[in-house]
Chain A
Amino acid sequence: MITPRARRTGLVFNRSTFFDILKFILLIAVLTFLIYRGTLGLGYNWQWFRVPKYLFLLEDGTFTLGPLLNGLMVTFRITAWGLVLAFAFGLVTALFRLSHSFVAVVVARGYLELIRNTPLLVQIFFLYFVMAPVLGIERLFAAILALSLFEGAYASEILRAGIVSIHKGQWEAAHSLGLTTFHTYRYIILPQAIRRLLPPLTSQAISLIKDSALVSTIAVYELTMEGRAIVADTFMTFEIWFTVAAIYLVVTIILSLVVTIMEVRFKVVH
């Protein structure tokens, strides 16, 4: 529970906060205990000490990335390109849907319905097994394309809602000043819309990071695929999957924090 005072001043530590934290720690302790007891029953052999070398190696003062962090770099590459492309697809689709052109509207609607009504996994398989050989695109690009087409469809709905939410008077003022539609979008509508849309667009970016795990199914060696490979080699199922999950968590939390900071800095007061 955030009290009004806490909202103003940041964190306030009082009795109820103390009990909240106590309850949380207790809950974690119970969960940990249950997992521990379960693994005892399985006779699981924990080998956490073997995990670090899959993250990084430090030999003779030289630092090299282990397979997991290498996988994370591939995940970053997929995500970064995926974000750029998803934003582009989303923006074009949103503008198409808002345009007066019949063809553009139909194209945008067709793309949206196709993407939203088929599973992402099937789209990845379709692009990799059907389109990639036909068009001669490589594995990593097929993965990026599949993810960005998928996330782009959802981003376009967010962008469209944001664009529509900008008051009609902004369009009229821009038109009355002789601005073209392009200039109006570029300088008036989108800057305002995107500021409002930062929170939902961030969720979409986080989805993209998480969904990128699915491209391990077409053997792109990103974080999840590296995890699978290591588990197959070492049978350290628990340790590796805990580690992989933690890495995803750290990345998405950092992204959320960055966007929160951006939101505060670029806030528009109405």
Chain B
Amino acid sequence: MQGQTAREFIIEVDKINKEFPGGVRALVDFSTQVRKGEVLVVIGPSGSGKSTFLRCLNGLEEIDSGSIVIDGIPLDDNRKHRLEIRKEVGMVFQLFNLFPHLTVVENINLAQKLVRKKTKEEAAEMTMSLLKKVGIPEKANNYPSHLSGGQQQRVAIARALALMPKVMLFDEATSALDPEMIGEVLDVMKTLAREGMTMVVVTHEMGFAREVSDRVIFMDGGRIVEEGTVEHFFTNPQEERTKLFLSQIL
């Protein structure tokens, strides 16, 4: 995007609140902005609200108050806005959530045809180039159950990329993987980051954060406790809670 249409922030989150039934406050007056091309890593203990924050960004969770604007489109009750935002925001889940009754190719083709209204040929071309990008073109016609966890997650990334989103969200994308498969998924994510994709990544992988992140947010109790570059977190964390958390995961 250039000229007058250029927007400084592609994600604008202003004072959002989210309370779950039972009174758990997952997000408390949470605000942040993400620049185009920025890689934001969100860390924090479980229950700190980091996944909820991510899921609010594409409307998988409803916010109680505050506002979210993605690439100039407000995420509100308007169904069109919501679908429009979901086209522009890809998401990768902890448990992959591939469609088990569809082959790898069909998983990646589906939304291209239904949402982007591509022809079969256009979709197939895009799908093959994405499978090459994530390194498993040979698995094109397999079903997800025949793939390893790492391969499934790479298919899930390709599926999200197929819509050519402007933002990618990663919700603990490597947490459910066997250790030897984490690397292959992180490699794909690093490539994306270096290509300039705007990414919000919830993860415990500080190595990933160190290599490609522009900014790290440490969350606890639904609030931002500390925010800064990854160097700041490694060398000079200010808050006690941050230090404690880092000592546990590093």
Contact = CB atoms under 8 A, between A and B. Distances in A.
Q: Does B associate with A?
A: yes
Interface in B65-102: 83, 86-87, 89-91, 93, 95, 97-101
B48 interface: no
Contacts of A178: 83, 86-87, 111, 115, 163
Interface size class of B (residues with CB under 8 A): 20 to 34
B145 A170 contact: no
B123 interface: no
A188 B101 CA distance: 8
B244 interface: no
B127 interface: no
Given A169-B93, A172-B97, A268-B100, A177 B145 contact: no
Contacts of A173: 91, 93, 97-99, 156
Contact of A191 (B83, B98, B101): B101
A269 B100 contact: yes
Nearest to B115: A178
| Most chain B CB within a 10 A radius of its CB, from A173, A175, A180, A187 | A173
Interface string A254-270: 00000000000000111
A169 B156 CA distance: 12
Contacts of A167: 97
B54 to A, nearest CB: 11
Interface residues of A, number: 21
Contacts of B114: 179, 183, 187
Contacts of B110: 177, 179, 187
A192 interface: yes
A169 to B, nearest CB: 4
Interface in A62-87: none
B111 A172 contact: no
A156 B108 CA distance: 31
A187 B143 CA distance: 16
| Most chain B CB within a 10 A radius of its CB, from A172, A269, A270 | A172
B180 to A, nearest CB: 23
B100 A177 contact: no
A139 interface: no
Given A169-B93, A177-B163, A270 B100 contact: yes
Interface of A: 167, 169-170, 172-180, 183, 187-188, 191-192, 195, 268-270
Interface of B: 58-60, 83, 86-87, 89-91, 93, 95, 97-101, 110-111, 114-115, 143, 145-146, 156, 159-160, 163
